[in-house]
Amino acid sequence: MSWKSRVRPFIPKPIMQRYIAWRVASNQKTVRQRLFDQYGRYAEYTLTQRSLPELFPEGRQASIEVPVASIVRDDTMEMPLAELLSLAGVTQISQPKTIFEFGTYMGATTRMMAQHSSPETKIYTLDLDIKTRNEYLRRNGYQFELSFTPGQHFHNTPEASKISQLWLGLEPFDFSPYYGQMDLVLVDADHSYPFVKADTEVALKLVRPGGVVVWDDYTWVDAHPECVGVTRCVNELADRLPIYRIQQTRLAIYRVPA
C-alpha cells in the first residue's frame, strides 16, 4: 500500500475533494498543452450531419423512454441528453442482439442501451479494472486517480442480468472472442488519439456485417481537449468509410453494409 493510500482515510473529505479538483485541473492543463503540441489547436468537424430518420428510414416511427433521473446531466464524463436519447434511438431502431461498449463509467449509456434492446440482448461493457486502474493511469502518464464504481447506474436494476462487465487490467485485453459478433459497438473510453485509434480498429473487428459503430465526442468543448483524438481518428476513417455525425449531437455513426 502506498503512503498516499495510508494517509488518505485521515484527510477530511472537503480537503480531499479540493485536492483532487486541483490535481485534475493541473493535469488537464498539461494534457491540453501536450495534445495541442502534438495535434494542433483545432480539429475540423468535417463529417456530414444526418438526422436519425435519415440514417434509419425504417425507424421513422420509433419512440424511446427516458428515466426521469437521466434528464438532469451535470457530470461531464457522461453523455449529455441529446446524445443519450440518440443512442437510445439507434438501439431501439436497430434492435441489436449483441452490444459492446468501450468505457462503462457509471453505466448510464449501458443502461440506456439495455432498456431499449430486447430481453435476450447481451451487452458487454469494458472499463479499467478498479484494482489496477490507478496504476494503469500512472503508467500511461495521467496524474489523476479514479474512484467511481463502474456500472453503478445499472447495478440492481431489472436490466443488470443482460450486462456483463469486462475489465482491462495492466495487460492488453483479448478482444478476439468477440470478433465479428457485435451488432452495436459504442466507442467512449480514453479519448486521446492513440487510444481511440486502437479502440476503433478493434471496434471494426467486433462489429458484424449490418451492424453499427457509434463514437461519442466527435465534437467537444475546450474543457476536454483530449477529444481531438476522436475527431482526428473519425475524420481519417471517414476518408474511406461512410461515417456521419448524428444531427445536432457530438455522436459519429457508421452503418456497416449488410
Binding-site ranges for ligand SAM (CB under 6 A): 77-79, 102-105, 108-109, 126-128, 146, 168, 188-190, 195
In whole angstroms, how close is the CB of 137 to ligand SAM at the nearest point? 8
Distance in angstroms (rounded) separating the CA atoms of residues 140 and 145: 12
- If the CB atoms of residues 109 and 115 are measured against ligand SAM, the closer one turns out to be 109
d(CA 111, CA 229) in angstroms, rounded, equals 26
Of the pair 100, 105, the CB lying nearest ligand SAM is at 105
CB-based contacts of 134: which residues, under 8 Å, 6+ apart?
145, 146
Instruction: From residue 221, give the alpha-carbon distance in Å to each of 76, 173, 207, 225, 240.
Output: 10, 30, 29, 7, 27
All three cell numbers of 231, joined, read: 475527431
Q: How far is the CB of 71 from ligand SAM (least distance, A)?
A: 15
Nearest residue to ligand SAM on Cβ basis: 103
- State the minimum distance, in angstroms, from the CB of residue 24 to ligand SAM: 14
Question: Of the two residues 48 and 176, which places its CB atom closer to ligand SAM in the complex?
Answer: 176
Residue tagged 473510453 (cell numbers): 189
d(CA 221, CA 90): 24
Alpha helix segments (H runs only) across 40-103: 52-55, 81-94
The least CB distance from residue 127 to ligand SAM, in Å, is 5
Residue 53 vs 82, nearer CB to ligand SAM:
82
**CA 251 to each of CA 134, 213, 219, 237: distance values in angstroms, whole numbers, following the listed order:** 28, 10, 8, 15
Q: Is 48 or 164 the residue whose CB approaches ligand SAM more closely?
A: 164
| Cα 151 to Cα 166: distance, rounded to the nearest angstrom | 11
CB of 124 to ligand SAM, least distance (A): 12
User: Which is closer to ligand SAM, CB of 159 or CB of 190?
Assistant: 190
Cβ 223 to ligand SAM, closest distance in Å?
Answer: 13
Q: Beta-carbon neighbour count of residue 139 at 10 Å? A: 10
Nearer to ligand SAM, 159 or 188 (CB): 188
Least Cβ distance, residue 94 to ligand SAM (angstroms) = 18
